[in-house]
A and B are shown apart, each in its own frame.
Chain A
Amino acid sequence: GAVVSQHPSRVICKSGTSVKIECRSLDFQATTMFWYRQFPKQSLMLMATSNEGSKATYEQGVEKDKFLINHASLTLSTLTVTSAHPEDSSFYICSARDPAEGGNNEQFFGPGTRLTVL
Chain B
Amino acid sequence: AQKITQTQPGMFVQEKEAVTLDCTYDTSDPSYGLFWYKQPSSGEMIFLIYQGSYDQQNATEGRYSLNFQKARKSANLVISASQLGDSAMYFCAMRFSGGYNKLIFGAGTRLAVHP
Contacts and interface: CB of A to CB of B under 8 A. Distances in A.
B43 A34 contact: no
Contacts of B108: 42-43
Contacts, number: 58
A34 B91 contact: no
B44 A107 contact: no
Contacts of B101: 32, 97, 105, 107
B99 interface: yes
Nearest to A33: B100
Nearest to A97: B101
Contact of A104 (B42, B45, B52): B52
B102 interface: yes
26 contacts: A32-B100, A34-B100, A34-B102, A34-B103, A42-B107, A42-B108, A43-B105, A43-B108, A44-B45, A46-B102, A46-B103, A49-B99, A49-B100, A57-B100, A93-B45, A95-B103, A104-B33, A106-B35, A106-B47, A106-B50, A107-B47, A108-B47, A109-B45, A109-B47, A111-B42, A111-B43
A110 B16 CA distance: 31
Interface of A: 1, 32, 34, 42-46, 49, 51, 57, 91, 93, 95, 97, 103-109, 111-112, 114
Interface of B: 33, 35, 37, 42-45, 47, 50, 52, 91, 95, 99-108
Residue of A34, A105, A114 most packed against chain B (CB within 10 A): A105
